[in-house]
Amino acid sequence: MTNADVARVFAEIADLLEIQGGDSFRVSSYRRVSRAIDDLVRDISAVEAAGELEQIPGVGHSSAEKIRELLTTGHVAIREQLAREVPISLLELLRIPGLGPKKAAVLWKERGITSLADLKQAIRTGALANLKGFAQKTIDHMREGLEFLERTAGRTRLGDAWPIAHAVREAVLAMPGVSRAEHAGSLRRGCETIGDLDLLCAAEDGPEVVQRFTQMKGVTRVLAAGDTKGSVLMRVDNDRDIQIDLRVVPADSFGAAWQYFTGSKAHNVRLRELAVRRGWTLNEYALADAKTNKVIAARDEEEIYRALELPCFPPELREDRFEFELGRVPEDLLAPEHIRGELHCHTTASDGRESIEQMAAAAKARGYAYLCITDHSVSSVIANGLSVERLVQHVEAVRRAAKKVKGLALWVGAEVDVRADGSLDYPDDVLAQLDFVVASLHVGLSQDAEANTRRTLAAIRNPYVNLIAHPTGRLINRRDAAPLDVAAVAREAARTGTALEINANYLRLDLKDMHAREARACGALLCINCDAHDGASFDQMRFGVMTARRAGLRSSDVLNTRSAEEVADFVRRKRAAAAGASRRSS
């Protein structure tokens, strides 16, 4: 079993215990174990084999025995017992944002609701009327939560689909007779969620490749297996599959097929319209003369676009949103190699999983020129946020580490919570000691757009705030973006010299692509960060860059494509401007 498998079981035990009304200490204990295992860098089986389970924070003798039982048998007795006493389908209800175990328990015990379908029916028929703790506002939120789940059903987050897609591509490439294999579809376009995974390959023996594809490890069901196409379901996590389609195409028409199956549908419709005006046809086989069937272009995507007198649009731009209005693709369209550092990351000082030195080493290994450590402020209690006293000690620790690191500018900052009234967790005299300040709204996101915007603008106007992180607070497939006037925020960010973040963590991708495009149109500067909690998280930069490319951002639009001195100057200019304005007003 994987770490995620074991963590999920312990989380389910905690949820079932809480629904049952179990002791809160026991519930918290199981949750701590779940989080600790989910955060493990090492494989849980290797930890168990080394006899080191009880060295995991929060894992005592009893928990270690349950982990061993789970790893050995695939089951744990307490989970099986709870599943007999509490309807296991109640765990579905916990997928609704804001609906926790205690409310699920009331729905079950007072109204007999044990599934999402039951809840939907109860809301529709008014069966929740007069239920204690379920005011109309709560019921409305649950209805919205159900609608949210339905909208995201069947969609897999980009970061969840990415490793599966790449593993399947490598497996197909290793098959006899396969000369080329490439991703297509929404994954190639960098969409934040993926429906089905599309894969193309060129091969000598189509039926043989399709047969091998359908027999790959991890396939849970074969949907189709023909001479040139195979379709399977493969496990994404413990309760969900993703469909993967493989098409075997001739090498001579690979470009046409790759362009066609990359999409998007709207982009392809525009291309076909342009082809028809010239008396041509365009499909997955070729761009061809409609009368003579003579092939005009097929082998390469580039020649298809060239024949249509268009630039070869990068996949991320193929959405028929603004690409056809571009005279050309900008030469400096943002690319991964343009990124020169990370300005938002965490260490073990708050809720990170690696030390200052480890994070610095990981950034240096990526070739970064700079890294800013921005651990959480005091209001983020769940993230072990730093009091002023702890922050002062942390600043000193980062400064000491910076003196030892060669070839990397190591800075110290903080991710500071924006309070309900728009004030910040730390006073200005404390913020003035930091190299770079990130401000974030973590609570109160359910307020209306006016309130969220007012708080964000207040943070932007602080002379020490340099970046607004994950501005809308969304969690993809979990929580909708908070209402926010992005244009107003962007205009004020541009005026004050404050950057707005594209958070590259695949759970967020916030700002999303079109918000980022709108922000840049309003004059704001963007900054792409992984919000990294360990060195491996820097790999998620690819998702932030893809999001920025979908927005059409150039390297000059992004703060952390600049040199360390230019970033430092960005900070100095805002502080100097604020100081000058203060002197003039006095």
Where a domain ends, among 248, 269, 285?
248
**How many CB atoms within 10 Å of residue 465?**
23
> 172 and 145 in one domain?
no
| Position 336 in a domain | no
Contacts of 454 (CB under 8 A, 6+ apart): 422
Query: Does residue 63 have a cis peptide bond before it, meaning omega lies within 30 degrees of 0?
Result: no
| Position 7 in a domain | yes
Closest CA to 165 of 200, 116, 204: 200
pLDDT in tens, 411-463: 999 999 999 999 999 999 999 999 999 999 998 888 888 999 999 999 999 99
| 73-100: average pLDDT | 91
DSSP 4-62: HHHHHHHHHHHHHHHHHT--HHHHHHHHHHHHHHHT-SS-HHHHHHTT-GGGSTT--HH
Which class for 481: exposed (0-12), middle (13-18), buried (19 or more C-beta within 10 A)?
Answer: buried
The answer to whether the CB of 486 falls within 8 A of the CB of 454 is no
> 308 and 172 in one domain?
no
| Position 77 in a domain | yes
Range of the domain at 510: 342-464+472-585
- The total number of structural domains in the chain stands at 4
Q: Find the CATH number of the domain harbouring 259.
A: 3.30.210.10
| Structure tokens that stand for 136 in this block | 């109309």
> 277 and 417 in one domain?
no
The residue count for the chain = 586
The answer to whether the CB of 550 falls within 8 A of the CB of 364 is no
| Position 332 in a domain | no
pLDDT at 152 over 60: no
> 387 and 412 in one domain?
yes
> 578 and 433 in one domain?
yes
**How many CB atoms within 10 Å of residue 561?**
23
Query: Does residue 511 have a cis peptide bond before it, meaning omega lies within 30 degrees of 0?
Result: yes
Distance of CA 481 to the CA centre of its chain: 13
pLDDT in tens, 507-552: 999 999 999 999 999 999 999 999 999 999 999 999 999 999 999 9
| 312-317: average pLDDT | 98
Where a domain ends, among 248, 281, 315?
248
Secondary structure string (H, E, C) spanning 442-490:
CCCCCCCHHHHHHHHHHHHCCCCCCEECCCCCCECCCECCCCCCHHHHH
The torsion region of residue 470 among left (phi > 0), alpha (psi -120 to 50) and beta comes to: left
> 103 and 162 in one domain?
no
Global pTM reads: 0.79
Report percent pLDDT > 70 for the chain. 98
Coil, helix or strand at residue 100? coil
